[in-house]
Amino acid sequence: MCAMARPRKPLLNRDRIVETAGALVDAEGLAALSTRRLAAELGVSGPSLYNHFRTKDEILDAVADAVSAKIDLSMFAPDDPRDWRTALHDWALSYRAALADHPHVVPVLAQGPGRRPAGLKVADAVFGAMVRAGWPPAQATHIGALMRYFVTGSALGSFARGFVDDETAYDPADYPHLGQAHRLAEHREKVDEGAFATGLRALLDGLGARYEQEAHVSGGAET
Amino acid sequence: MCAMARPRKPLLNRDRIVETAGALVDAEGLAALSTRRLAAELGVSGPSLYNHFRTKDEILDAVADAVSAKIDLSMFAPDDPRDWRTALHDWALSYRAALADHPHVVPVLAQGPGRRPAGLKVADAVFGAMVRAGWPPAQATHIGALMRYFVTGSALGSFARGFVDDETAYDPADYPHLGQAHRLAEHREKVDEGAFATGLRALLDGLGARYEQEAHVSGGAET
DNA sequence: ACCTGAACACCGTTCAAGT
DNA sequence: ACCTGAACACCGTTCAAGT
């Protein structure tokens, strides 16, 4: 056959690597992503990847950022009609949906944006919108942070999936109130979505009360 | 020297393994925990660990459960005077403090209790207390879940640490509102604790409003 | 510039062998 | 029962060599 060294057309590029890595992580989890396995999937040898990324972690960062890029930020645009409360609500749903589609990537995203462009765009958009709505910068920072806590926490640890689907696992003598815990696995989605909806509503109600109470009169822009 | 095969007194036991593994993870992170490294730290050879744990993951589970065991649950005791709102608040602080002491273990804990006894005790206590306070079981389940989302989310991704301490990292053309983001690393703790306090307060205020609104009269089951 | 195979220093786990 | 060294099938990454 032809001697393999450098093809005239590159076999690899960053996009193809990120796409394949993402598919692998989605299908089999973070542990399945090894440079050798990924390279095999791409039809090249392991070290080839290092012509396009400096480390495996950089590949994983790019995969994570591709997930962040799917989060809807339109509600934070200056000319969007939604008030800050509705904007946060709609954003949280889109945020959670993006992570729920790629649960294995959540541990990476939960660590914060770092230098990932799409992750930074998200942080920038929510901060800017909250300040425009009248929140003091310190509070706007807190809101961005606490929303991330809640959304990534909910996406990372599906509550119901956190219990084992095995009746004998939860001895009533040890855990008097967990009699039905193994049943959680059955209606997993309902529990997770219910808990998320309840928490989001409580969070926004609580923030709303604080907003009104603390009289955010504007010296400049107003709602 | 003496031929090494089986000492009359076992060199290893589960507690010693878990303790050393926890110290290693705390000091150098999850990636530093390898069976060979851990064994070396314990003065034995790698395979010895398999006499006490079936897999490395089981060791990690035990390390995580030791962290859960440090969470204060006294506020959920039936004879404790604290109302449900105060109990949730105090519990959240203790919960977060336990995780903050062992940040590298949080990704494991965030996955849910599984079969870990201390993790299950936590879930059992909060669920029991919420039902006793008058919440319908479905809502009590949601409360346990959403509190875990928020606390693990906050412990997993320190918001401020999620940004890079490098002024050039955040180009104002790309992120118009992140001008001071690199400064977050400076007052890291203040930001993280402020965001946590703001979120916890909003969450409890929101739940409180819902509790009153939905008339949880005691004396029997309620919708 | 971009790919290769060989090599280095690691992994988790199994297993027969020792006491 | 509990530890050992050897072995298996893996890792991430470096590097000289090829085109």
CATH of the domain at A106: 1.10.357.10
Q: What radius of gyration, in Å, describes the C-alpha atoms of chain A?
A: 22
Strand C contact with B56 (CB < 7 A)? yes
The per-residue pLDDT of chain A, averaged, comes to 90
State whether the beta carbon of B5 lies below 7 angstroms from any atom of strand C.
yes
Q: Measured on CA atoms in the order B142, B66, A148, A32, is the torsion positive or negative?
A: negative
pLDDT(A223) > 60: no
Partner-chain contact A178 B123, CB within 8 Å: yes
Chain A residue nearest residue B138, CA to CA = A191
Q: Evaluate if residue B3 carries a pLDDT over 80.
A: no
The shortest CB-CB distance from B150 to any of A139, A144, A150 is to A150
How far apart (Å, rounded) are the C-alpha atoms in residues B189 and B174? 27
Determine if strand D comes within 7 Å of the CB of A28: no
CATH code, domain carrying B32: 1.10.10.60
Shared domain check, B20 and B121: no
Q: Which residues does residue B114 pair with via DSSP β-bridges, in sequence order?
A: A163
Same domain for B96 and B195: yes
The torsion angles phi and psi of A101, rounded to 5 degrees, stand at -70, -20
A60 CA: distance to closest CA in chain B (Å):
15
Q: pLDDT grade, residue B218 (50/70/90)?
A: low
Q: How high is the pLDDT of residue B223?
A: 41
Say if CB A138 and CB B133 are below 8 A apart.
no
Domain limits at A45? 14-54
Name every chain B residue with its beta carbon within 8 A of the beta carbon of A144: 159
| pLDDT (tens digit per residue) in A42-87 | 999 999 999 999 999 999 999 999 999 999 999 999 999 999 999 9
Those of residues 62-121 in A touching chain B at CB distance below 8 A are 107, 110-115, 117, 120-121
Q: How confident is the model at residue B8 (pLDDT cuts 50, 70, 90)?
A: low
Same domain (yes/no): B49, B97: no
- Give me the phi and psi of B81, to 5 degrees please: -75, -15
Would B104 be classed as within a structural domain?
yes
Chain B residues touching residue A160 (CB < 8 angstroms): 145
Asked if B210 is an interface residue toward chain A (Cβ–Cβ < 8 A), one would say: yes
Whether residues A150 and A196 share a domain: the answer is yes
Write the residue in B113, B141, B184 that is nearest to A191 by C-beta.
B141
One domain for residues B105 and B154: yes
Q: What is the CA A48 to C1' D12 distance in angstroms?
A: 13
A50 with A142, same domain: the answer is no
- Whether residue B122 is found in the same domain as residue B172: yes
Contact B115 A169 (CB under 8 A): yes
Asked whether strand C has any atom less than 7 Å from the CB of A207, the reply is no
Residues contacting B99, CB < 8 A, separation 6+: B67, B105, B106, B109, B151, B152, B155
Q: Does A194 touch chain B (CB under 8 A)?
A: yes
Do B151 and B95 touch, CB atoms closer than 8 A? yes
B49 in the same domain as B150: no
The sign of the dihedral angle between the CA atoms of A166, A172, A175, A180 is positive
- Do A155 and A110 sit in the same domain of this protein? yes
- Residues B90, B43 share a domain: no
pLDDT at A64: 98
